[in-house]
Amino acid sequence: MLEHFKGDEEFVRKVLDYKTQAVDKYKIVLTKFLDPHLQNVVKSVIGADAAVYEEGGFINCENKRLIICPSFYEIEPDDFKIKVFRVEYPEKFGVLEHKDVLGALMNLGLERECIGDICKNPLAFSCASENAEYIRQNLKKIKRFTVNLVEEDFSIAIENTFRKKEFVVSSLRLDKIISALFHLSRQKAADAIRAGEVKVNHKNIELIDYLCNNSDIISFRRHGRVKLVVTDRVTRQNNQVVEGLFYL
């Protein structure tokens, strides 16, 4: 099985253990927050042998905790052990961004897998319940702002906003796409890809000649995230016109 999940072998071994616990020992296994790529890995490995449930604390969220259990078990929302906090701060003096909240949480010594999505409007984040009290007691400031955390239910919807830009590329190779989207030389784009700084659909891609597809989500560390739209337009030189929807 491992040969089908190149690059994810270590994680697949964990999932196989989860599967054994659920199928053979009738246990409920709760994961940490997983991105969409790892969620799909779990579902592929588990197959029809056990039930897989998911929850992230927000409507339309990406990062979720998964429960793996025998199919005859009934799961309640509280079983996911997720807390959602809205961040109150004096907005008239400035605006806090996704990266500010994530950075403040990471500075508390938390692992990324303990934090789910971060919503922009209203500013809020989800976290594992086992870390919630620690966060509540220690997250008092983000950047220069004093903050107050207010617990919310799971009714907040994440609505992404984008800035659209149009580009012309000679091919859909990843190095050429990164070069165009982020205004880098081909060499710098290739170096970043080989260094593991680029993800496509939440999976690290280190092949510079990887071919991108329409609707791919491309993340570039410290540069941002873009949804690629491959249009049906070409230039007179037969180059491809693409659009980048940059997440705000």
Q: What is the mean pLDDT of the segment spanning 32-61?
A: 97
Q: Over 90: is that where the pLDDT of 62 sits? A: yes
Phi, psi of 139 (to 5 degrees): -90, 90
Closest CA to 57 of 151, 162, 131: 151
- Give me the domains of the chain, ranges plus CATH numbers: 2-80 (3.30.1370.160), 82-152 (3.30.70.330), 162-247 (3.10.290.10)
The tens digit of pLDDT for each residue in 80-94 reads 999 999 999 999 999
Q: Over 80: is that where the pLDDT of 3 sits? A: no
| Inter-CA distances, 217 with 87, 174, 245, Å | 27, 12, 9
Phi, psi of 236 (to 5 degrees): -65, -25
Q: pTM for the complete prediction?
A: 0.88
